[in-house]
Structure 1
Amino acid sequence: MMALPVIIDCDPGIDDAIALLTAFVSPELDILGITTVCGNQPLAVTQRNALQITALGGRDDITVYAGCWRPLLRPSIHGQFHGNNGLGGLALPAPRREVSAVHAVDFIIASCRRALEQSRPLTLCCLGPLTNLAVALRIDPTIAEGIERVVLMGGAFRDNGNRTFSAEFNMLADPHAAHCVFSQQFAITVLPLDATHQVILTPEHVGQFTRCAGRLAQPLGQLMAFWDRNDVARYGSRGGPLHDPLVIAWLLDKALFTSQQARVFVEYDSPQLLGHTQADWYGKSGLPANASVVTEVNASGVFDLMLTRIARYGEQP
């Protein structure tokens, strides 16, 4: 079976790092490149983190492309749960490579054009704000024909927001970019907080991961331990929600997820509701569905899947 061609657009970020490390040892995915964006941290930090994570995962063969340094229109905001360096204070060796001289937006455009020429459309895995993809689509709207699907982590529908009372961080960080992406014709799969809050990385899970991770045990354990929100009232236990890794898990085993089609709207004008996502579940808008929204997750299945992948690091010399 031919591996699925993907670009991973991200803003590492602890949960981005866990998602990348899972993807690196998944042969079902042909990772064409990693593009970084301003999000959890400023661009200079997210691109450095991406380089360090590729080195940690033994995947220096994957090129990192630096993208947009700020949102389309609004001022930049950054994540609150990732520590000063975006990786929970984890000290990693200096990157062995530099980012590509090619801008991430140019790489996305070129990759989509090539995918269209080769009749092999690609999948974009968007783990952060959607600025890079939105800019690429504004420069060349025809690249949408080279995209089979966008799988993104973002939004909150029946759940509350995690940055404001109604907005999830990725949507709030660049709501204008999100509106642009949801206005396209390609297939979109959305993993909102409604889904990610069903998969809580508890201290017991952290122990399982570190016992099987081999040389990654110490850095992975530190990343995961820092991610513990210690908010039992909200999450029902110690731990933190596995946001971004669910994008990779969905690509690897869709049977673990239940979805519902809906028309998704992103609020980009109201100061009070900026970044709010609204799903029209029942066609009240008169507009066709533009996204498949994940509503239920088999959490134990996701952890089993991720454990089998992370265990592959323990099998490496």
Structure 2
Amino acid sequence: MVLILDTDPGIDDMLALMLLLTTDVADTELRMISLTYGNCSLADTLRNVLSLFHIVQKENEWRKKANLSPFTNQRPIIHLGSSSALPTDNSRKFETTETLQDALNDTNEVNATDVHGSDGLAGIHSTNPEYDSDPEWFKLFYSDSKPTDDPNLPFKAGGNIPAWEAILDVLRSEPEDTVTIASIGPLTNLAKVAEADPVAFSKVKRVLSMGGALRTCGNVTPMAEFNVLADPLAAARVYALTSKNPEVTLPTGSPESLLKLPRPLKLTIFPLDITNQHTAKLADVHEILGAFIEAYPDCVLAKWVKVWYSNSFANYGKLVGLGADNANCELHDPVTAAYAINMFPNEWSLHREDVRVEHSGQWCMGKTVVDDRGRARSENNEHDIQKWLTVGEGNNVDIVDETPFVKTLSHILLERITKL
């Protein structure tokens, strides 16, 4: 299977990414890492991913000297995507030349630095700069850069090709229903993919999206989950593409190209209703990573993860009014990653429902809306002004409501990181 990860690293994004990297390329090829703003700025998401690959390179070198198997045999290409949400006034089209240099000047109204730290990784770039990647790696993404496949690098660099264009290139080159996209950040990049070439986008096997809060409260506002709130217009457009008649639920003013999708999008979401149940404690980090570091003092990856993962609990504790030792780190994105690589198949529970996104408003913007009125659907109801109760209308979203590792995911992730 070919997998594209669309992400905004991010503490739990980074855990999800490492889970994917520990998956054998013969089982699931992580073809691309598509970056987007979100938890932090686009520039910081790039810095975080490059730091990860710097550490991975060092880890593989240590493991080779110790006659151990490498941490990963994956070597994905990295592309920069959106540095801000879709414009809501339809006065301008999205730019196709956004680069790191543009992103450095962008500020986003919505971010999650209160949870993830000012740099997205609990401030590690300030506290432990020794873990940072080679500054020259950033130049591989400047506006005059071309794609690079240097075998001495632990990744491939997409240069100045925007992520949404690169995603389309993959979809066009691969057979239909062979590429899965896991989106664990705002859906901006995917909304751009759909707008630019709906025919190619329709070739995707499935989109997996961590996002939404259906029958629970939000985590940014009382109503909204972060990834949806960060770009509710993009989410509303992507969700609408699951409908047989997307014009019914597409936001007013959406591009006409979105009406040309040859078939409804297959979308599976992982809302807070289920991801909130998967948590980690600081004691888990100290216990598992600490023991591994003591046994293998030359390991690099475990030391690096322990720094930013441990420090993140202070932010979580402050957010919920508890100390770091008592706080829970919620593992939203790793749940999506685990599903993407088919962990514990046949032990997941899903159901399908009409889910829509409120993309405007003052108090409910970003809310994922479902209909709990319990009313019957009919073929023709002249009073059904929003088409919630009309057969064949509305969105068709698959929702994960049960996983096989509510109590054990934290340990699974840490044990994957320390697996020899």
Tell me which residue corresponds to 2:19.
22
**C-alpha distance 94-303 of structure 1, shift in aligned 2 (>3 A):** closer
Equivalent position SS for 2:354: strand
Does residue 94 in structure 1 map to residue 133 in structure 2? yes
| Structure 1 residue 300: Cα displacement | 2.6
**C-alpha distance 168-203 of structure 1, shift in aligned 2 (>3 A):** same
Does residue 11 in structure 1 map to residue 70 in structure 2? no
Tell me which residue corresponds to 2:303.
218
**C-alpha distance 13-304 of structure 1, shift in aligned 2 (>3 A):** closer
**C-alpha distance 309-104 of structure 1, shift in aligned 2 (>3 A):** same
| Structure 1 residue 305: Cα displacement | 3.6
CA deviation map 1:265-309 (0-9, x unaligned): 000021221100013476653335521112233313434543442
| Structure 1 residue 257: Cα displacement | 3.1
TM-score (norm 2): 0.68
Counterpart-to-counterpart distance in 2, 1:232 and 1:299? 24
1:285 to 389, 397, 400: 389
Counterpart-to-counterpart distance in 2, 1:126 and 1:15? 13
Tell me which residue corresponds to 2:41.
42
CA deviation map 1:186-207 (0-9, x unaligned): 2111111111110111123223
Query: Which protein shows a greater Rg?
Result: 2
CA deviation map 1:67-112 (0-9, x unaligned): 1111002564111211111111123322463342211111011111
Equivalent position SS for 1:259: strand
**C-alpha distance 112-131 of structure 1, shift in aligned 2 (>3 A):** same
Q: Counterpart amino acid of 2:355?
A: V
Q: Counterpart amino acid of 2:418?
A: A
**Residues 16 and 245 of structure 1 are in contact (CA less than 8 Å); yes or no, is this contact kept in structure 2?**
yes
Does residue 274 in structure 1 map to residue 381 in structure 2? no
Moved over 6 A (4+): none
**Residues 188 and 292 of structure 1 are in contact (CA less than 8 Å); yes or no, is this contact kept in structure 2?**
yes
45-54 or 130-139, which deviates more: 45-54
Equivalent position SS for 1:7: strand
Does residue 135 in structure 1 map to residue 192 in structure 2? yes
Q: Which has the higher strand share?
A: 1
**C-alpha distance 209-249 of structure 1, shift in aligned 2 (>3 A):** farther
**C-alpha distance 106-209 of structure 1, shift in aligned 2 (>3 A):** farther
Tell me which residue corresponds to 2:66.
none
Equivalent position SS for 2:215: coil
2:329 to 234, 237, 240: 240
1:9-158 paired onto structure 2 within 5 Å: 9-27=6-24, 28-58=27-57, 61-73=75-87, 76-79=109-112, 80-91=114-125, 92-95=131-134, 97=137, 98-99=140-141, 100-101=158-159, 102-115=161-174, 118-119=175-176, 121-158=178-215
Q: Counterpart amino acid of 1:239?
A: N
Equivalent position SS for 1:22: helix
277-286 or 135-144, which deviates more: 277-286
**Residues 249 and 305 of structure 1 are in contact (CA less than 8 Å); yes or no, is this contact kept in structure 2?**
no
| Structure 1 residue 42: Cα displacement | 1.5
Counterpart-to-counterpart distance in 2, 1:209 and 1:260? 35
**Residues 7 and 35 of structure 1 are in contact (CA less than 8 Å); yes or no, is this contact kept in structure 2?**
yes
**Residues 30 and 75 of structure 2 are in contact (CA less than 8 Å); yes or no, is this contact kept in structure 1?**
no
Structure 1 gap segments, 5+ residues each: none
Counterpart-to-counterpart distance in 1, 2:397 and 2:239? 8
Equivalent position SS for 1:68: coil
Q: Counterpart amino acid of 2:34?
A: T
Tell me which residue corresponds to 1:249.
338
| Structure 1 residue 33: Cα displacement | 0.9
Q: How big is the alpha-carbon RMSD for the aligned residues of Structure 1 and Structure 2?
A: 2.4
**C-alpha distance 138-196 of structure 1, shift in aligned 2 (>3 A):** same
Aligned residues: 306
Q: Identity of aligned pairs, percent? A: 28
Structure 2 gap segments, 5+ residues each: 58-71, 89-107, 126-130, 142-157, 242-263, 294-298, 378-387
Counterpart-to-counterpart distance in 2, 1:119 and 1:40? 32
1:227 to 285, 308, 312: 312
Q: Counterpart amino acid of 1:48?
A: R
Tell me which residue corresponds to 2:151.
none
TM-score (norm 1): 0.88
Q: Counterpart amino acid of 2:80?
A: A
Does residue 182 in structure 1 map to residue 239 in structure 2? yes
CA deviation map 1:224-250 (0-9, x unaligned): 2233222378xxx52210011111112
Counterpart-to-counterpart distance in 2, 1:173 and 1:50? 20
Q: Counterpart amino acid of 1:87?
A: L
Q: Counterpart amino acid of 2:48?
A: N
Tell me which residue corresponds to 1:197.
276
**C-alpha distance 280-305 of structure 1, shift in aligned 2 (>3 A):** farther
**Residues 267 and 276 of structure 1 are in contact (CA less than 8 Å); yes or no, is this contact kept in structure 2?**
yes
Tell me which residue corresponds to 2:153.
none
